[in-house]
């Protein structure tokens, strides 16, 4: 059995803050309300996505890593992670704001939860007028003033609010407090981890449970980066028909391609799988003589053994993600 470009069946997640844009904008197929996240490629235990089509239909990432090893994920990736897939790929629609939250580092997540940490990044695909993200602090605080802010319900006053528009990029390292604001649709690339410490949730009651959601301030207080940073947004160049660097971290690398012709890609120097997320338009990928279409809001995984592909579009933007 041979590897080929793979699409996975997304998993749709109810969220207290979820809206309708995953369905109305990205044409996702579900009937539930308040779906906030589409998990496109996931190896989170209990939430594994499966191959949607072709001879490998029904297989999980773990199945594929077990069967194909380095041919699937890349030799170095397999040596480091074994059958654990290192990345979790999502589209997120926030109708109302997410909780203010923070993620632990690899070291703390391993010690406390036997999990990876959660470094992540966002690419904004749509933003309503005046939509914002909350990232980091605007004023220097320490643990004592932070606790006072929590007690007085004034933590939002200390945080950095940034108005956003389509195409904005943010890297969220572990320790950085953050929240997606109302009216934002984005692509999220992160480590495979479901560990989130919620520190403030607007005193909301979840209509499904009739209760407020749990806060994790005892866990969060030691992982927060209290420093004020001069800039939280990632700046980048956008040259057509080439890979433009967005975020290159120790945990994943993401580029963006704006395509208006045929682009030949050669990945022989990259020892990793490649994930494409289509964030505008649609693109045709040709591999081994077969054409695969990636529409707006769709994701495709290119196994590491496939080194050459052609991407063709009249007008598309695609995130290119690898380890």
Are 182 and 303 part of one and the same domain? no
Residue 2 lies in a domain: no
Q: Which are the contacts of 174, defined by CB distance < 8 A and separation ≥ 6? A: 102, 103, 104, 105, 106, 117, 118, 119, 223
* Cβ pair 132, 233 in contact under 8 A: no
Domain CATH number, residue 305: 2.60.120.10
Helices (H) then strands (E): counts for the chain: 8, 27
- Residue 244's nearest CA partner among 133, 318, 159, 166 is 318
Residue 3 lies in a domain: no
- Say which DSSP state 292 is in: E
Predicted confidence pLDDT, tens digits, the chain (323 residues): 899 999 999 999 999 999 999 999 999 999 999 999 999 999 999 999 999 999 999 999 999 999 999 999 999 999 999 999 999 999 999 999 999 999 999 999 999 999 999 999 999 999 999 999 999 999 989 999 999 999 999 999 999 999 999 999 999 999 999 999 999 999 999 999 999 999 999 989 988 899 999 999 999 999 999 999 999 999 999 999 999 999 999 999 999 999 999 999 999 999 999 999 999 999 999 999 999 999 999 999 999 999 999 999 999 999 999 99
Are 87 and 154 part of one and the same domain? yes
Residue 35 CB neighbour total at 10 angstroms: 21
Residue 316 CB neighbour total at 10 angstroms: 21
Exposed, middle or buried by CB within 10 Å (0-12, 13-18, 19+), for 87? buried
Q: Which are the contacts of 136, defined by CB distance < 8 A and separation ≥ 6? A: 159, 160, 176, 177, 178, 225, 228, 229, 232
Are 156 and 182 part of one and the same domain? yes
Residue 83 lies in a domain: yes
Are 213 and 259 part of one and the same domain? no
- Residue 287's nearest CA partner among 7, 35, 91, 5 is 5
For 44, the enclosing helix (H) or strand (E) is strand 43-44
* Cβ pair 133, 176 in contact under 8 A: no
* Cβ pair 258, 238 in contact under 8 A: yes
Q: CA 78, CA 6: separation in Å to the nearest integer?
A: 18
Q: What does the pLDDT read at residue 1?
A: 83
Q: What does the pLDDT read at residue 207?
A: 86
User: Considering 211, 234, 257, which residue would you say is the last residue of a domain?
Assistant: 234
Residue 269 CB neighbour total at 10 angstroms: 6
User: Considering 234, 265, 296, which residue would you say is the last residue of a domain?
Assistant: 234
Are 125 and 262 part of one and the same domain? no
Are 180 and 213 part of one and the same domain? yes
Are 12 and 95 part of one and the same domain? yes
Q: What does the pLDDT read at residue 27?
A: 97
Are 220 and 285 part of one and the same domain? no
Residue 86 lies in a domain: yes
The alpha-helical segments, DSSP class H, found in 167-291 are 217-220
Are 208 and 257 part of one and the same domain? no
Residue 34 lies in a domain: yes
Number of domains composing the chain: 2
Residue 298 lies in a domain: yes
Are 70 and 121 part of one and the same domain? yes
Are 179 and 266 part of one and the same domain? no
User: Considering 234, 252, 285, which residue would you say is the last residue of a domain?
Assistant: 234
Residue 1 lies in a domain: no
* Cβ pair 290, 4 in contact under 8 A: yes
Are 184 and 201 part of one and the same domain? yes
**Structural domain of 298:** 243-322
């Amino acid at each position: 059995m041979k590897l080929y470009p793979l699409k996975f069946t997304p998993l749709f997640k109810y969220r207290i803050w979820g809206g309708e844009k995953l369905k109305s904008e990205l044409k996702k197929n579900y009937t539930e309300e308040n779906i906030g996240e589409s998990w496109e490629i996931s190896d989170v235990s209990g939430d594994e996505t499966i191959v949607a089509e072709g001879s490998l239909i029904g297989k999980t990432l773990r199945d594929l890593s077990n069967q194909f090893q380095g041919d699937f994920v890349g030799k170095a990736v397999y040596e480091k992670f074994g059958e654990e897939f290192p990345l979790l790929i999502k589209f997120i629609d926030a109708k109302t704001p997410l909780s203010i939250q923070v993620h632990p580092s690899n070291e703390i997540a391993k010690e406390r939860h036997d999990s990876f940490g959660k470094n992540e990044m966002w690419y904004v695909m749509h933003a309503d007028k005046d939509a914002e993200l909350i990232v980091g602090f605007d004023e220097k605080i320490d643990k004592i003033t932070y606790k006072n802010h929590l007690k007085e319900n004034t933590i939002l006053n200390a945080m950095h609010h940034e108005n956003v528009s389509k195409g904005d990029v943010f890297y969220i390292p572990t320790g950085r407090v953050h929240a997606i604001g109302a009216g934002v649709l984005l692509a999220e690339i992160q480590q495979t981890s479901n560990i989130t410490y919620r520190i403030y949730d607007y005193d909301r009651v979840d209509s499904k449970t009739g209760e407020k959601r749990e806060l994790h301030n005892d866990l969060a207080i030691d992982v927060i980066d209290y420093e004020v940073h001069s800039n939280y947004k990632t700046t980048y160049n956008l040259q057509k028909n080439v890979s433009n660097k967005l975020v290159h971290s120790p945990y994943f690398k993401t580029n963006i391609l704006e395509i208006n012709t045929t682009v030949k890609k050669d990945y022989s120097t990259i020892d990793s799988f490649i994930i494409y997320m289509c964030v505008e338009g649609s693109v045709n990928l040709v591999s081994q003589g077969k054409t695969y279409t990636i529409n707006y809001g769709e994701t495709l995984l290119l196994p590491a053994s496939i080194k050459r592909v052609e991407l063709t579009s009249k007008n598309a933007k695609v995130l290119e993600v690898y380890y």
